[in-house]
């Protein structure tokens, strides 16, 4: 598909589009995808859907493919829904997508008892 749509310039919008990878939230990713998508011409909707799904994180990508969306808008909705579903099942952590760091929630430290306190 790449060779069919890509022109001779090294850094075309199509190249940027197919090399895009989700690093942040789904809302941010869809915005990034759309900025490039509107600049790419002559690609059928079904190819745009495939390209979008291919840019998603693996766990979301798999779930969205199972539903076989027939429009880009449906693919966007499914991807947002899958992200919400995954986030709802996760343990609470603070994840900074920009620098890929994860901070565990602070938990109270256990109290250590001395032998005298145990008596």
pLDDT higher than threshold 70 for residue 107:
no
- The pLDDT, as a whole number, for residue 22 is 95
Q: Which domain holds residue 9?
A: 2-84
Q: Is residue 43 part of a domain?
A: yes
β-sheet bridge partners, residue 102: 95
- Complete DSSP assignment for 93-119: -EEETTTTEEEPPP-PPPPPPPHHHH-
Q: Is residue 54 part of a domain?
A: yes
Q: Is residue 119 part of a domain?
A: no
Q: Is residue 73 part of a domain?
A: yes
Banded model confidence at residue 90, pLDDT cuts 50, 70, 90: confident
Q: Is residue 94 part of a domain?
A: no
**What is the Rg, in whole angstroms, of the alpha carbon atoms belonging to the chain?**
21
Domain count for the chain, please give it: 1
The verdict on pTM exceeding 0.85 is no
Banded model confidence at residue 79, pLDDT cuts 50, 70, 90: very high
> What secondary structure letter does DSSP report for 91?
P
């Amino acid at each position: 598909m790449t060779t069919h749509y890509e022109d001779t310039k090294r850094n075309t919008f199509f190249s940027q589009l197919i090399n895009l990878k989700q690093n942040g939230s789904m809302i941010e990713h869809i915005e990034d995808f759309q900025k490039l998508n509107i600049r790419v011409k002559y690609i059928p909707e079904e190819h745009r859907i495939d390209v979008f799904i291919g840019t998603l994180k693996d766990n979301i990508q798999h779930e969205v493919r199972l539903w076989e969306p027939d429009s880009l808008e449906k693919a966007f909705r499914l991807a947002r829904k899958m992200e919400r579903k995954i986030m709802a099942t996760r343990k609470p952590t603070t994840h900074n997508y920009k620098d890929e760091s994860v901070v565990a929630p602070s938990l109270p430290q256990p109290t250590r008892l001395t032998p005298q306190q145990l008596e």
